[in-house]
Structure 1
Amino acid sequence: MTQTLKMSVAAFALMASGAWAAQDSIIIGMQLEPPNLDPTGGAAAAIDEVTYANLFEGLTRFASDGAVVPGLAQSWSVSEDGLTWTFDLRPGVIFHDGTAMDSADVVFSLNRARAEDSTNAQKALFAGIADVSAPDASTVVITLDAPNGNFAFNMAWGDAVIVAPESVATNATQPVGTGPFRFVEWAKGDSVTLERFDAYWGAAPALTRATFKFISDPNAAFAAMMAGDVNAFPVFPAPETLANFDADPRFSVIVGSTEGETILAMNNANLTDVRVRKAISHAIDRQAIIDGAMFGYGTPIGTHFAPHNPDYVDLTGGSAHDPDMARALLAEAGATDLRLSMALPPPSYARRGGEIIASQLRAVGIATDITNMEWAQWLEQVFRGKDFDLTIVSHTEPADINIYARPDYYFQYDNAGFQALIETLGITADPDTRTTLLQDAQKMIAADYVNGYLFQLAKTGVADSRIEGLWQNAPTQANDLTGVSWRAGP
Structure 2
Amino acid sequence: MSRLRVAGAAVVAAAALTLAACTGGDTGETGETQAPSQDTPVAGGELTILSAGNVATWDPGSAFGSFPGVNWDRLYAVYGAVISTDVDGNIVPGLAESISTDDGGATWTMTMRDGVAFTDGEPVDANAVVANYERFADEANALAAYRVASSFAVSAVDDMTVEIVPLDPNPVLDTLIADNIPFIASPASLPEAGAEYGDPVGAGPFVLESWDTAVGEEFSKNADYWGADDGLPYLDTLKFSIVADPAQRVSTVVQGGAQIMNGYGFQFIADADNPAVATFDVASGGIRHYVFNNTSDLMSDPRAREAVVLAIDPTEMVQTLTQDPSAEGSTALFPSTSPFYDASLSLPETDLDAAQSLVDEITGEGTDFTINLLIAAVPELVRAGELFQLTLEQLDGVTVELNQIPIQDWRAEAFDKDNFDVTFYPGVFDLNSPWVGMANLFGVGGSDNFGNIDIADMEQALQDAQSATSDADREAAMAQVQQIYVDEMPIGVFGIDYRTFLIGADVTGLQSMGRGALYTDRIGYKAE
What TM-score range do you get, normalising by the shorter chain?
0.7 to 0.9
Q: Secondary structure at the match of 1:216?
A: coil
* Seq. identity, %: 21
Residues 1:316 and 1:438: Cα distance change in structure 2 (over 3 Å): closer
- Give the Å deviation of 1:479: 2.8
1:262 aligned to 2:262?
A: no
Indicate yes or no: 2:201 matched with 1:176: yes
Structure 1, 263-272 or 289-298: larger mean CA deviation: 289-298
2:419 matched to 1:387? yes
Q: Is the 8 A contact 1:267 1:386 kept in 2?
A: yes
CA–CA distance in 2 between the matches of 1:460 and 1:155? 25
Deviations 1:191-210 (A, max 9, x none): 11112111011232221111
Query: 1:193 is matched by which residue type in structure 2?
Result: E
- SS state at 2:477 partner: helix
Residue 376 of structure 1 deviates from its aligned partner by 5.2
CA distance in 1, matches of 2:93, 2:458: 32
Q: Shift of the alpha carbon at 1:370?
A: 0.7
Alignment correspondent of 2:499: 459
How much does 1:325 deviate? Answer: 2.4
- The verdict on how the C-alpha distance between 1:301 and 1:72 changes in structure 2, with shifts beyond 3 A counting, is farther
TM-score between the two structures when normalised by the length of structure 1:
0.86
1:323 corresponds to which residue?
352
Q: Report what 2:246 is aligned to.
A: 218
Aligned to 2:395: 364
Partner of 1:29: 50
1:148-297 matches, within 5 Å, as 148-169=170-191, 174-202=199-227, 203=230, 204-235=232-263, 239-240=266-267, 242-257=268-283, 260-270=286-296, 271-296=299-324
1:80 CA displacement:
2.6
Other structure's SS at 1:265 match: strand
Structure 1 window deviating more from structure 2 (209-218 vs 260-269): it is 260-269
| 3-state SS of paired residue (2:400) | strand
1:369 CA drift (Å):
0.6
Preserved contact between residue 302 and residue 314 of structure 1 (Cα < 8 Å): no
Residue aligned with 1:482, SS: helix
Relative to 1, partners in 2 of residues 1:350 and 1:38: Cα closer, same or farther, differing over 3 Å? farther
Q: Secondary structure at the match of 1:442?
A: helix
- For 1:118-133, list aligned pairs within 5 A: 118-129=141-152, 131-133=153-155
Alignment of 1:379-458 (within 5 A): 379-394=411-426, 396=429, 398=432, 399=434, 400-403=437-440, 404-406=442-444, 409-458=449-498
Aligned 8 A contact 2:319 2:328 in 1: no
The separation in 1 between residues aligned to 2:242 and 2:260, in whole angstroms, is 12
Q: Paired residues, what number? A: 466
Do 2:321 and 2:383's aligned partners in 1 also have CA atoms closer than 8 Å? yes
Amino acid in structure 2 at the alignment position of 1:189: A
Question: What residue identity is the alignment partner of 1:84?
Answer: T
Please list the CA deviations of residues 138-194 of structure 1 after superposition, one character each: whole Å capped at 9, or x if unmatched: 111111222211111011124332222212349855222211122111122111111
Q: Secondary structure at the match of 2:244?
A: coil
Cα displacement string for residues 427-481 of structure 1 (whole angstroms, at most 9, x for unaligned residues): 433332122112211221222011111233421321111111224x662252321
Tell me how far apart the structure 2 counterparts of residues 244 and 197 of structure 1 sit (CA, whole Å).
38
Cα separation, 1, equivalents of 2:338 and 2:74: 26
**Aligned residue identity for 1:166:** A
The code of the aligned residue for 2:138 comes to: A
Cα distance, 1:278 vs structure 2: 0.9
RMSD between superposed Cα atoms in Å: 2.9
Distance 1:42 1:71 in 2: 17
2:158 is aligned with what amino acid? D
What do the CA deviations read for 1:51-100 (whole angstroms, capped 9, x no partner)? Answer: 35432234321225442222222123313353111111110111122221
Query: Structure 1: which amino acid aligns with 2:304?
Result: V
Unaligned runs of 5+ in 1: 1-19
Q: Is the 8 A contact 1:284 1:321 kept in 2?
A: yes
Counterpart contact for 2:313–2:350, Cα < 8 Å: yes
SS in 2 for 1:233: strand
CA distance 1:174–1:50, shift in 2 (3 Å): farther
Q: The residue matched to 2:461 in structure 1 has which SS?
A: helix
Partner residue, 1:338: 369
| Structure 2 segments unaligned to the other structure (5+ residues) | 1-40
